[in-house]
Structure 1
Amino acid sequence: MDRDELVADCRVRAATDLFAHMWDPVVLAALGSGPRRRSELRAAIGGVSDKVLTQSLHRLLASGLIDRRAHAEAPPRVEYALTGLGQSLVDGPMRALGRWAEEHGDELLDAQERSAPAV
């Protein structure tokens, strides 16, 4: 990639923005095992508020990474699932990042701890 191509609206920025929100990759990972209802997502993730989960789902839908399917049942049932694009992100870069974190996570945390100001 040419240095001149790294502008505010470039593809690299768009891709890295997918990891800018802490819960988005977590939601994607939770959907990696298959479609889930909202309540199942909250239970699987743990620690995410309803508001934050809603925001994350909206961002991921807008990015084309997940799909929302409403089933015509009583009571209504809505499921979220990875799209092909979302699956490619989970299977590719997210899996690679997970392997890197397993291999180098301790080094990263140690470096951050050393550079943290003393309290």
Structure 2
Amino acid sequence: MPTTTASQRRAAAKAEYDAFFAQCPSRQLLERISDKWVALVLAALGGDGPGTTPGDEPQPMRFSELQRRISGVSQKMLTQTLRSLERDGMVTRTVTPTVPVTVSYELTDLGRSLQGLMKGIKAWAEGHMTEVLTHRGGYDQEKCDAAD
């Protein structure tokens, strides 16, 4: 049996993941990261959002800071999102024994590697929303005209 190097074993393992196959576990990860709250949490922890300037360094944030930065997220949804990101190794949760206890969240290296992509998707959506709305309006009007 031929000997394989560690890099060859990693390459073989990576080849096994193909999201186009129904049973591929990477589909679970794609489902997770396609969630709007995940994208916004990663962007916020990555130093993006109201009151920040481009290029701000990622900083640990408390739950209440994240909730203020991400308008419209419920406490339950933010809690679930942070727990799932922590479980996947993208966020760390640090508890500091103060009175009251201080809990902060920070991106891990894995989270930072995804955060850049998510900020790009967020920027794309913000930059192209007018165009998308124009297309939606035209499409809806065509469907309305066709129904008459």
For normalisation by structure 2, the TM-score amounts to 0.65
CA gap 1:42/1:109 in 2 versus in 1, 3 angstroms: same
Shift of 1:46: 1.9
Q: Unpaired segments of 5 or more residues in structure 1?
A: none
SS at match of 2:111: helix
Residues 20-79 of structure 1, C-alpha deviation per residue, up to 9 Å, x if partnerless? Answer: 322111111111121111111111112111111111111111221111011122221110
How far apart, in 2, do the equivalents of 1:109 and 1:26 lie? Answer: 21
Distance in structure 2 (CA, Å) of the matches to 1:86 and 1:101: 21
After TM superposition, give the deviation of residue 99 of structure 1 in Å. Answer: 4.2
Q: 1:45 aligns with which of 63, 70, 79?
A: 70
**Residue in structure 1 matched with residue 41 of structure 2 by the alignment:** 27
2:99 corresponds to 1:74: yes
User: Percent identity of the aligned residues?
Assistant: 37
Which structure has the larger Rg over C-alpha atoms?
A: 2
Query: Aligned to 1:47, what secondary structure does the other structure show?
Result: coil
> What is the CA RMSD across the aligned residues, in angstroms?
2.5
Alpha-carbon shift at residue 102 of structure 1 (Å): 4.5
